[in-house]
Amino acid sequence: MKLLIVDSTTEAQAFCAKRIEAFNQSDMEMLDLKVKLVSERDFMDRVNEADVLVLGSGLGERGTALARQAMSTVPWLHIVMFVTDEAYGGGAFRAAHSAGVRKVFPDSASPLDFLQELVAIHAEFRREGRTREGRVVAITHAKGGVGATSIAAALTEVCSVYHRRTMLWDLDVETRDLSRSLTVNGVEAKVVSAWVNGSREISRESLKDALIPISSDVSVLMPPDRMAESMDLVCHTDGMTLVQRILELSRVLFDVIIVDTAGRMGPATGTILRSADVVLIVIDDTILGLTAVDLYLTFVKTLVGGTDRIVFLVNPYSGALLGVPQIAAELEPAHNLGELPWRLPPVPNDPKAALWPGSGRTLYSMGQKSTRVVLERIAREIGLIDTGTKAPQLPSNGAEGPSSGGWLGKLLGRSGPSRQELSGTRKDVTGGEGKS
Ligand SMILES: Nc1ncnc2c1ncn2[C@@H]1O[C@H](COP(=O)(O)OP(=O)(O)O)[C@@H](O)[C@H]1O
Ligand SMILES: [Mg+2]
């Protein structure tokens, strides 16, 4: 959010800006605050770039005239005005609000009141879709082995091909299937442990330190490197605040956030399912699979709090035992989800692509043409790539074997940014007196 602070003198501007310095770092990061100070003379040149205009008390009665002038040029601007404690009262309110100011504060107001107003403006921007915010897709399943991890990796590769900045979050703390399949590993996982045990704060900087870039657009966030922290993250209620912060920050840094929740239910996963834009439930077409989904849905529906964000993805076990309409017909009488959650096409069973783990590729680039087309359709349907964009040229299937690199190998080896480029040079990733 871009703030433009206007006041009569540089001292007065600095006084106004001091209130923002009083905010804590994480609040600033969450609002993505960028602050500019200008004089009355220059402000009309800058007002076009601003989301929020802050008028300082040094402007006195001229403040309302500036507000009026700004509103006539940028009608969607939000204006916050400070007045001296003496001036703070009904007269100032009437003048300010008739000029389009949304909030008047006295100079002695607590910075927290100002922060609250900025948070409210930011929340409105989010609702209106004005802030660019990453889309969170939580991938989950009722039982293991249905292909949830494979789908997470494949959709990430689709995003990469379409140059969407993507964070792939492996929350399978026990087996780390995703990280292992993509052969991703590193000291970065220690940062995640450090967040959990409290030896390091979560911030934009430390998130960058925790990320493992695997292509120019994709980074992986691994589970904590240690078991104790892993268990705390997914089983302890403290994990809820942490995952919430991770989501908020990653929404600022990425276009797409894909989380492999490994189906586990707990405080952290619950938080993710609740705040995700899409909850993608991967299911197979077996009887055991469907009865599991039946049970799973009874509590996931309550947890997610509605059905509009739930979508099913049928990944048939072998060939096609049951089609999507038949599966829907089995589950609908008990769950009444409507048609929308069933709108995705089933993923073809692709035996050749099943060998993706460890190959440096995924179901997407290893798959047949029909598999790729379906995965792209799914990515479009759940809003990961734009509907209008055309498919970029893909390496033709089988042209490059795993030995020649594939997606990961190619990008890690040659064109991808180095970890240092992405996260700056680090000597001790856990920071301070971080243990290892
Ligand atoms: N559409 C598919 N075609 C062929 N094999 C698949 C498909 N989807 C998944 N697989 C294979 O099934 C196995 C289990 O998948 P995985 O993604 O680990 O499941 P989950 O995360 O649900 O436990 C993997 O070996 C994977 O390669
Ligand atoms: Mg898995």
Structural domain ending residue among the three candidates 128, 150, 177: 128
**Residue 423 pLDDT more than 80?**
no
Structure tokens at 393: 């040229």
> Could you say which ligand is closest to the alpha carbon of residue 170?
2
The CB-side HSE value for 367 (13 A sphere, CA atoms) comes to 22
Residues sharing a CB contact under 8 Å with residue 206, sequence separation 6 or more, in sequence order: 191, 194, 195, 200, 431
pLDDT of residue 433: 39
Residue 121, domain member (yes or no): yes
pLDDT of residue 426: 36
Residue 409, domain member (yes or no): yes
pLDDT 10s digits, 353-392? 999 999 999 999 999 999 999 999 999 999 999 877 666 6
Which atom, in ligand 1's list, is nearest to the CA of 151? 17
Distance between Cα 173 and ligand 2 center (Å): 10
Contact of 260 with 178, CB cutoff 8 Å? yes
Q: What are phi and psi of 219, to 5 degrees?
A: -130, 150
Question: Who lines ligand 1 at CB under 6 A?
Answer: 141, 144-150, 177, 315, 347, 349-351, 353-354, 356-357, 363
pLDDT of residue 392: 67
Q: Kindly indicate the confidence band of residue 230, based on its pLDDT and cuts at 50, 70 and 90.
A: very high
Q: What separation in angstroms does the CA of 206 have from each of 27, 423, 428?
A: 15, 9, 12
When pLDDT is averaged across residues 224-251 and rounded to a whole number, the result is 95
140 shares its domain with 85: no
Q: Which helix (H) or strand (E) holds 230?
A: helix 227-235
pLDDT 10s digits, 315-355? 987 766 788 999 999 899 999 999 999 999 999 999 999 99
Residue 431, domain member (yes or no): no
Distance between Cα 48 and ligand 2 center (Å): 48
The rounded percent of the chain whose pLDDT value lies above 90 is: 74
Q: Which residue has the tokens 């940028």?
A: 74
Distance between Cα 355 and ligand 2 center (Å): 15
119 shares its domain with 200: no
Q: Kindly indicate the confidence band of residue 409, based on its pLDDT and cuts at 50, 70 and 90.
A: low
Distance between Cα 195 and ligand 1 center (Å): 31
81 shares its domain with 118: yes
Q: Residue 45's Cα: distance from chain center in Å?
A: 33
Domain count across the chain = 2
Structural domain ending residue among the three candidates 96, 128, 160: 128
pLDDT of residue 406: 62
Q: Which helix (H) or strand (E) holds 79?
A: strand 78-83
Which atom, in ligand 1's list, is nearest to the CA of 357? 27
Residue 430, domain member (yes or no): no
178 shares its domain with 139: yes
Distance between Cα 150 and ligand 1 center (Å): 5
117 shares its domain with 243: no
Q: Whose CA is nearest to atom 25 of ligand 1?
A: 354
303: domain CATH number is 3.40.50.300
What mean pLDDT is reported for the chain? 88
Which atom, in ligand 1's list, is nearest to the CA of 347? 1
3-class state of residue 104 by DSSP: strand
Distance between Cα 361 and ligand 1 center (Å): 13
Q: Kindly indicate the confidence band of residue 299, based on its pLDDT and cuts at 50, 70 and 90.
A: confident
Residue 435, domain member (yes or no): no
Q: Whose CA is nearest to atom 12 of ligand 1?
A: 147
DSSP codes joined into one string, 309-341: TEEEEE--SSS-SS-HHHHHHHHHHHH---SGG
Distance between Cα 342 and ligand 1 center (Å): 20
Residues sharing a CB contact under 8 Å with residue 390, sequence separation 6 or more, in sequence order: none
Structural domain ending residue among the three candidates 109, 128, 147: 128
**Residue 121 pLDDT more than 90?**
yes
111: domain CATH number is 3.40.50.2300
Ligand 1 pocket mutation pick from 139, 141, 146, 150 by most atoms within 8 angstroms of CB:
150
Residue 28, domain member (yes or no): yes
Q: Whose CA is nearest to atom 11 of ligand 1?
A: 354
**Residue 425 pLDDT more than 60?**
no
**Residue 172 pLDDT more than 70?**
yes
282 shares its domain with 399: yes
**Residue 414 pLDDT more than 80?**
no
Which atom, in ligand 1's list, is nearest to the CA of 141? 22
pLDDT of residue 129: 77
197 shares its domain with 330: yes
Distance from the first to the final alpha carbon of the chain: 37
146 shares its domain with 84: no
249 shares its domain with 102: no
pLDDT of residue 316: 86
Q: What is this structure's pTM?
A: 0.81
> Could you say which ligand is closest to the alpha carbon of residue 356?
1
87 shares its domain with 190: no
Which atom, in ligand 1's list, is nearest to the CA of 144? 23
Name 282's bridge partners: 141, 313
Residue 364, domain member (yes or no): yes
- Integer Cα distance of 188 and 392 in angstroms: 31
108 shares its domain with 227: no
67 shares its domain with 162: no
Q: What are phi and psi of 165, to 5 degrees?
A: -70, 120
Residue 66's domain spans which residues? 2-128
Residue 433, domain member (yes or no): no
Name 167's bridge partners: 219, 257
